[in-house]
Amino acid sequence: MKTKDILKDILLIVLGIFCAGMGLKGFLLPSHFIDGGVTGISLLVADITDLPIAILIFIINVPFLWLGYRKLGKMFALKSTLAIAGLSLCLAFVQYPDVTPDKLLTAVFGGVFLGAGVGLSIRGGAVLDGTEIAALLVSKKTQVVKVSDVILILNVLIFGVAAFLLGIEAALYSILTYLAASKMIDFILNGIEQYTGITVVSVKSEKIRIAITENLGRGVTIYQGKHGYGKDGLINDPRDIIFTVATRLEIPAIKKLVLSIDPKAFIVQQSIDDTTGGLLKRKGLH
């Protein structure tokens, strides 16, 4: 890795540690709310045993870090170990203000800060919570259960125990914290410009291609298909199929442009979790 990339990863992880620390000590711990995953387990154990959260959050993550080392590589495990150790030190020695006694604000903004911390750390190539490691490995091994399903099942168990030990109200606020953290993680990882893939099938594909690239400044990919028509599956003329990636804000303009050229065009949209390379930003238009 280049020195610039290493410094960028370190900065993201350090910012993530301090954000997560703010979410935990500034909001969740004073109100006895928890989050999902290993962080939630650590908060729950700390609440019922009075053991230091700084020690628990590292010890409970150790088995997951070992799994990460065995299955996902040394660099990932090293970064994650240092990140979680940094979070433990932050919780032990950095003083944060108790921001607000309001339970709703605590649940929402505790989740926001914690989610921002986790998201920034992931962008830096590390994790602050070992749950994602376990979920990824289980998903790969079974090939049936998705990562999100594993995390959901684990969190249902955690919040069920929280309802029994901390009370229904604290558990419900904790679920709100988890939802806020999840949304913040998505925002940090995907950004405000969440991308959508658009596929256009039309007999006027060349005109549409020119309009999208020249009028809207977006890159397109052309691949060739054949038009299937009718119940008998009769294959008609070859057809150029246009694929482009745009932000949510640009979709209406693209659809309007396509339909103005060919009102019978077939348009398909699908969500895209991540993109790398290609012309994702608008070209400068004059």
Question: Around Cβ 37, how many Cβ atoms within 10 Å?
Answer: 26
Query: What sections of the chain are H helices per DSSP?
Result: 3-23, 29-31, 37-49, 53-59, 62-72, 74-93, 103-123, 131-142, 147-166, 168-190, 205-210, 251-261
Distance CA 35, CA 124 (A): 22
Write down the CATH number for the domain with range 195-271: 3.30.70.120
Q: Which among 181, 188, 183, 166 is positioned nearest to 22, based on CA atoms?
A: 181
CATH 3.30.70.120 positions along the chain are: 195-271
pLDDT per residue, tens digit, the chain (286 aa), is 678 888 999 999 999 999 999 999 999 999 888 888 888 899 889 888 888 999 999 999 998 888 888 877 888 889 999 999 999 999 999 999 988 999 999 999 999 999 999 889 988 888 888 887 776 666 556 655 555 566 777 888 888 888 888 889 988 999 999 899 888 888 887 665 567 889 998 888 889 988 888 887 778 888 887 766 655 555 567 778 999 988 776 788 888 899 999 998 889 988 776 566 555 554 443 3
* CA distance linking residue 165 with residue 40, whole number of Å: 13
Task: Output the pTM of the full model.
Answer: 0.72
